[in-house]
Amino acid sequence: MKTLVLMRHAKSSWDKPELPDRDRPLNKRGEKDAPQMGRLLRKKDIKPDRVYASTAVRAAKTAELVAEKMHFEGEIIYLDAYYMAEPDAYLEPLRELPDDVKCVLIVGHNPGLEGLLQILSRKVESMPTAAVARVNLPIDSWKELTLEVHGKLKDLWLPRDLK
């Protein structure tokens, strides 16, 4: 069994409307929620072997804040392909992972990330900013991961529920 942890980037700022979408930073709430979710993952003893994130500033910063608070010691892998990706695009890099990797955290964007959660879990769930979902996948090898895999949604945490 493999575990996929999906996280939507934390709340971004619209203070500078002239910024390209890719360059929008986190706002104050996002800067608070991302570390809070990282602490939650550490408390729940969720230890990803790999962390992947979109190259968009808001997603990259979310991944960095979460990784710091959960004491992730590996390197965050930033992927342009995760910026506004469709569900299957999130899976492509994972299919190349070695089988000893058990758990992966992805920090990305809606609507693709929410769509991926719904496809894998067969449940319609909303993923607002900084939401984290843990999905157990009934596969032994990442090569088996397709949109046809039926995983089990184990947890869905929203920052507002932790207050």
pLDDT 10s digits, 12-41: 999 998 999 999 999 999 999 999 999 999
Q: Number of structural domains, the chain?
A: 1
Positive or negative: CA dihedral 130, 140, 85, 116: negative
Nearest by Cα to 31 from 47, 11, 45, 48: 11
> Domain of 121?
2-12+21-133+143-162
Residue 38 is assigned to a structural domain of this protein: yes
Q: Is 88 a residue whose pLDDT tops 70?
A: yes
Residue 138 is assigned to a structural domain of this protein: no
Residue 30 is assigned to a structural domain of this protein: yes
pLDDT 10s digits, 41-74: 999 999 999 999 999 999 999 999 999 999 999 9
Angle at 119 between CA 5 and CA 96, to 5 degrees: 55
Nearest by Cα to 35 from 128, 163, 159: 159
Residue 83 is assigned to a structural domain of this protein: yes
Helix axes 28-43, 57-69, angle to 10 degrees: 40
Q: Is 163 a residue whose pLDDT tops 90?
A: no
Residue 53 is assigned to a structural domain of this protein: yes
Q: Is 135 a residue whose pLDDT tops 70?
A: yes
Return the CATH number at 96: 3.40.50.1240
Q: Is 109 a residue whose pLDDT tops 70?
A: yes
